Structure 1
Amino acid sequence: MNLLFDYDGTLHDCARIYIPAFREVYRRMTEAGLTPYREWKDTEIIKWLGYSPRDMWNAFLPSLSDRAKETYSEAIGTFMEEQTALGKAHLYPGAEVMLEELKKEGHVLLLLSNCKTAYMEQHRKIFQLDRYFTGYYPAEAYGYQKKWKIFPLIKKKHPGAYVVIGDRFQDMEIGARWGIPAIGCTYGYGKQEELRKANGIAGSIEEVKQQIDRIGDRAG
């Protein structure tokens, strides 16, 4: 079976590097007179995780010029890359064990993320993700199209049955649009209502494999 994984909030605890990056870049924007000063709660920041950079900035500060959006988006990306290089990025505990078990069982593991290509490549190298994953699909490589629009291109390369695993509505939308099972990860950054259409709910990394096994048994 093909297992299409989201990355941030599903395998990678992205908040550790995204929250400080957001606060630092927002501070720079305040100093530049582009935004008023304010304190940001962690919960207000992590709601943007799972969005592509383009969608995030268009929703967050639509009045900002496209050039400024690109500049500060790159600044957040650079800050996160620096934090990752310093060893501050972490997969969720148990993620590697779970991925290894799924790989050994013969599943084809694929990664589809609303991220930049450089971000995915850095994490691919640091966490040695090639041990598990057969294909990598960063949204930037597809002009930040919606995930459900990218999916047919992935399916063409990897035909067969699919299960989608993710923590946000963008992941559930793949399942809803294409009629394939989706597992919602409540330990990630999405709200409960985003996952209401999921075919299975995983409250922890350990439960992801349980839900995949359950769906696989039903399909068999």
Structure 2
Amino acid sequence: MFKNIKTLFFDYDGTLHFSEKIYIPAFRRAQEFLIDEGYLKEKDLSDQEVTRFLGLIREEMWEAYMPELPKAIQNQAGSILGREMEALIRRGKAELYPGTLETLRYLKNKGYRLVFLSNCGDNYLRNAQRAFPLEEVFEEFFTAEAFGYIPKHEILGKVLDRFPKQHLMIGDRKKDIDAGVKNQIPTIGCTYGYGTEEELEEGDLLIGDIQELKNYL
């Protein structure tokens, strides 16, 4: 199905990283701050509803959740969420999906060039690198923060030429599929992550487990 692919671009949260393990408790901590400050009466979302914010940059998350919240409070709550996630990573609470490292090593050993492309911040990436041996498999890492949080498809467009063709984008959200479509490269949508089937419908292939990549690449 995918001919002459040389470089694989991977999203992180919801594609490799079972992010809800740290995101949900961190989100709850931010909600506690909002409740204490009088901006929220009670925790108003189920865990499943909270996960829909995964993969969004901070501004997008607040626009989707509480757009009426003053920007200063959004920033405070967002900082709490980010710090709590990073603390949970340092405490060993983060998890990759089962078979992730095995699959990435398999792909690297087959000669694919693996590139990390995430909407995360730089410090989040550094904590992830401390938690998992990501540098063993990825040859380069790109974060949204390093590019001023421009859209993912624009970041991909800026770095594509650094890596040999053909390229392939792999991720679990519409942003990942759009990144591939807008740069005219094939895409694989990960249905086990946090995007809906509608978000991923333009993907060239949908997989329900990261380990399925070994069947197609």
The TM-score by the shorter chain falls in which range? over 0.9
Deviates more, 1:95-104 or 1:158-167: 158-167
The aligned counterpart of 1:5 is 10
* Residue pair 1:53, 1:115 contacting (<8 A) in 2 also: no
Say which structure is richer in helix.
1
The letter of the residue matching 2:122 is T
Deviation at 1:132, TM superposition (A): 0.3
TM-score (norm 1): 0.92
State which of 174, 177, 194 in structure 1 corresponds to 2:179.
174
Structure 2 distance, partners of 1:131, 1:46, is 29
Structure 2: give runs of 5+ residues left out of the alignment.
1-5
User: When the two structures are aligned, how many residues end up with a matched partner?
Assistant: 212
Deviation at 1:114, TM superposition (A): 0.9
Deviates more, 1:70-79 or 1:95-104: 70-79
The letter of the residue matching 1:67 is A
State which of 119, 123, 128 in structure 1 corresponds to 2:128.
123
The aligned counterpart of 2:116 is 111
Deviation at 1:130, TM superposition (A): 0.7
The aligned counterpart of 2:156 is 151
* Residue pair 1:183, 1:208 contacting (<8 A) in 2 also: no
Structure 1 distance, partners of 2:136, 2:150, is 27
Structure 1: give runs of 5+ residues left out of the alignment.
214-220
* Residue pair 1:54, 1:144 contacting (<8 A) in 2 also: no
Structure 2 distance, partners of 1:121, 1:71, is 22
* Residue pair 2:92, 2:131 contacting (<8 A) in 1 also: no
State which of 18, 24, 28 in structure 2 corresponds to 1:19.
24
* Residue pair 1:23, 1:40 contacting (<8 A) in 2 also: no
1:133 is paired with a residue whose SS is: coil
2:198 is paired with a residue whose SS is: helix
The aligned counterpart of 1:202 is 207
Instruction: State percent identity of aligned pairs.
Output: 38
Deviates more, 1:61-70 or 1:78-87: 61-70
* Residue pair 1:25, 1:72 contacting (<8 A) in 2 also: yes
Q: What RMSD over aligned residues (CA atoms) do the two structures have, in Å?
A: 1.2
Structure 2 distance, partners of 1:135, 1:57, is 30
Displaced runs of 4 or more, over 6 A: none
Structure 2 distance, partners of 1:90, 1:159, is 30
